[in-house]
Structure 1
Amino acid sequence: MISAVEKRQSVAGHVDVWYCFTDDHRLNSRLDQYETMLSSAELQQYQQLMHGSNGRDYLISRALLRTVLSEYCGYSPEKISFCVNAYGKPELINDEGQGQIQFNTAHTSGLTVCVVTRDNDVGVDVESRAENRGVLNMADDYFSALELQALNARSDDQQLDYFYRYWTLKEAYIKARGEGLSIPLHDFSVVLDEKGAFSEFVGPEADRWDFDILCKNPNYTAAIAMGGKINSIAYFHSIPLGQEVELSAEDAFNHFPNNVSGQRNRMIG
């Protein structure tokens, strides 16, 4: 646990992106320690899941969130407390006198992600990339007319990739707003440029919101939405209570290499 003097600093407009592959064998020796971090409610949830395929992912996702937030608020991971808003979005309780730490988490099969910034609402979504074109049928139910037109204009070999880009950007926005599915998915649009990067948001308070696609490799797609300008992003691969490595945007979200040029190591938790 780092001391309060060493607390990680963050500023509005900067986003730290933390991630962990939940099938990493280095996590195995730490699972019992992760369990001791959980609140009673989290422990109950974990016990309901632990005998199924989702139990490990849930436990590691909570451990990642708690060890990451401990770096920013100066509390040990097990002492961090959460509340939720009326729609269930979690918020940090013990954030006294430090400005408002904003965070959000997402996980999919094999990967958990946590994003942290200051002051601005933030949301993240990550999806495991299935090579099943059947998911494209969901677009009619969840995408706006503008998004559907843009998706259908893509070539057949691009459509699945772009589906996940639209999907994660929209989900990240919903999560950042923290109002659940009270926000109709047809009522706002994200626009991508010719290279598939975020270009424009068409929706409420459009000038306020900014987006970025964090990961678009063959295995995963991840995106963030923030209620303010995204000025910079840093990426960290983390083993909770173990090693942290800062990576470039190009190297992030690839299965962890033994040696990465320019990596920065430290122990966290």
Structure 2
Amino acid sequence: MPFAVPNLPHAEIHVWRLPWSTDAAEAAPFRTLLAAYAGPDAPEVARGEHGKPHFPGAAGMLGFSWSHSQDTALFAVGRGPVGFEVGVDVERVRPRARAIELARRFFAPDETAWLQGLGDVHVLGAFLALWTAKEAVLKAHGGGLSYGLHRVAFAPDGSYLAPRSFDGDVGPAEAWRVAQVPLEAGLVGSVAWRGEPRSVRVFTFPL
């Protein structure tokens, strides 16, 4: 019996949480979810200039992305105009003694200054929130880390990271929406898409 997924309105982004290991067979749930959302008439997945997977032609109204960290993976999907862009990233929380050093190397100067102004207990969570937000945007855009994390800059706005300045063809920043994925303690995830505000719904893939 085909795997059934919830209805996906244009006003929603769906994010699925899945288990993950280094076994190649663990990619099977991604294929199952993608096939369930795309339907039986979907064309073969194509690859963009930098390797980003997408559906060609009219099927490109369905955007999708996935990410994994240690034992957990996320799969994000949404519908929009042809070429709809969505990206997701997840990181497992673990000690990063060099978080500020990495921020100086990869983040915008204002972001690094913000992190340095936080108490030690808050630096790691804020660093990972920034990292996953940046990666989610760059995965949606298709440029990946090689595009440059510093070219996608955010500004803290209470508990939210607001897109501030996106450089090059990933911009403008105001065209993007970025949301933190609600996950259990020990995981930080972000999902990003270009377009209007949407609600994010999180599901768990059945084992």
- Residue 219 of structure 1 and its aligned partner are, at CA, apart by 1.2
What CA distance in whole angstroms lies between the structure 1 residues aligned with 2:161 and 2:54?
A: 27
Q: Which residue of 2 aligns with 1:11?
A: 9
Flag as ranges the 4+ runs of structure 1 deviating above 3 A: 6-9, 96-99, 215-218
- Residue 190 of structure 1 and its aligned partner are, at CA, apart by 1.2
What CA distance in whole angstroms lies between the structure 2 residues aligned with 1:148 and 1:88?
A: 30
SS in 2 for 1:87: coil
Change (3 A) 1:178 1:99: closer
Which structure dedicates a bigger proportion of its chain to strand?
Answer: 2
What CA distance in whole angstroms lies between the structure 2 residues aligned with 1:182 and 1:133?
A: 24
Cα deviation code 1:57-79 (max 9, x no counterpart)? x432x212111112222239xx9
Paired AA for residue 55 in structure 2: L
- For the 8 Å contact 2:5–2:33, the answer to whether it is kept is no
1:214 is the counterpart of 2:175: no
Change (3 A) 1:150 1:13: farther
Q: Which residue of 1 aligns with 2:90?
A: 126
- Residue 102 of structure 1 and its aligned partner are, at CA, apart by 0.4
* Equivalent residues in 2 for 1:27-176, closer than 5 Å: 55-56=22-23, 58-60=24-26, 62-75=27-40, 81-93=44-56, 100-119=61-80, 120-176=84-140
Aligned length: 200
Q: Which residue of 2 aligns with 1:233?
A: 200
Cα deviation code 1:219-249 (max 9, x no counterpart)? 111001111123211111003xx5xxxxxxx
So what's the TM-score if we normalise by structure 2? 0.85
Structure with higher Rg: it is: 1
Name structure 2 gaps, 5 residues minimum: none
Determine what percentage of the aligned residue pairs are the same residue: 25
Name structure 1 gaps, 5 residues minimum: 23-53, 243-269
- For the 8 Å contact 1:129–1:219, the answer to whether it is kept is yes
What CA distance in whole angstroms lies between the structure 2 residues aligned with 1:193 and 1:199?
A: 6
So what's the TM-score if we normalise by structure 1? 0.67
- For the 8 Å contact 2:115–2:126, the answer to whether it is kept is yes
SS in 2 for 1:55: coil
What CA distance in whole angstroms lies between the structure 2 residues aligned with 1:189 and 1:154?
A: 18
- For the 8 Å contact 1:105–1:113, the answer to whether it is kept is yes
